[in-house]
Amino acid sequence: MAVPVLVGAAVLDPNVLVDSLVPDVIDGLREDLQPQFGVRAYRVYRLIRTWSGARVGEGTITVNDGAELRPQPLVAVWDGLRFAQAACGVEELGEVRLTEVSLTYTYAQLTGAPLARNQEAFIAIGEAHGQGNPIRLFTHTKPPFVDRVKDLGWVVWLREVKGASWLP
């Protein structure tokens, strides 16, 4: 089953230069050229996970909203993840940062807001070119930030979630 693409819901102002360039030029070039060059190593998804109980952690889990962010964001600080000694052996720790996330998305689309008491939102990052890197789930560590100067997109800071998994 193919994962649907998250369709942006932001209201862009056609009288503002950056806004007028986002759908066709900025996102268009990122969508057309970067996959052809193979320079985006990861695919990124926004997930909403719902528990059958009254709150998170109660009952059984269903993923009722999984969608891919397109064009593929740049996973900018993958080196923020590292191996660390733990009582059970070695575990991954650290954070990553996404840049060039399309301005067609709203804050609510990226964070999953508003969430019910029995829902949680994740960003899943999986490799895009067959190297076998596992899909990892992340949560936001800071509110997403709109960068209209350097990256012309959202900047999203994430921390890996332990013990959670998802397959597209």
Segments forming the whole domain that contains residue 103: 17-160
20 DSSP β-pair partners: none
| pLDDT above 90: percentage of residues in the chain | 63
If one compares 67 and 35, the residue with the highest pLDDT of the two is 67
How does the average pLDDT of the chain come out, rounded?
89
Is residue 49 within 8 A of residue 133, CB to CB? The reply is no
The span from the CA of 124 to the CA of 135, in Å, is: 7
- Residue 103 inside a domain? The answer is yes
The pLDDT assigned to 65 comes to 78
The pLDDT assigned to 31 comes to 93
The pLDDT assigned to 2 comes to 81
Residue bearing tokens 């593929």: 72
- Residue 28 inside a domain? The answer is yes
DSSP E strand boundaries for 17-143: 42-51, 61-68, 74-75, 81-86, 89-101, 119-127, 136-140
- Residue 166 inside a domain? The answer is no
Is residue 81 within 8 A of residue 52, CB to CB? The reply is no
Average pLDDT over residues 36-46: 90
pLDDT above 60: residue 1: no
Average pLDDT over residues 135-147: 94
Pairing of strands 61-68, 42-51: antiparallel
The pLDDT assigned to 150 comes to 93
Number of compact structural domains in the chain: 1
The span from the CA of 47 to the CA of 10, in Å, is: 19
- Residue 37 inside a domain? The answer is yes
- Residue 168 inside a domain? The answer is no
The pLDDT assigned to 163 comes to 67
Is residue 95 within 8 A of residue 159, CB to CB? The reply is yes
The SS3 call for residue 108 is helix
- Residue 127 inside a domain? The answer is yes
**What tokens does 6 get?**
């998250």
47 DSSP β-pair partners: 66, 122
- Residue 126 inside a domain? The answer is yes
- Residue 167 inside a domain? The answer is no
The pLDDT assigned to 131 comes to 84
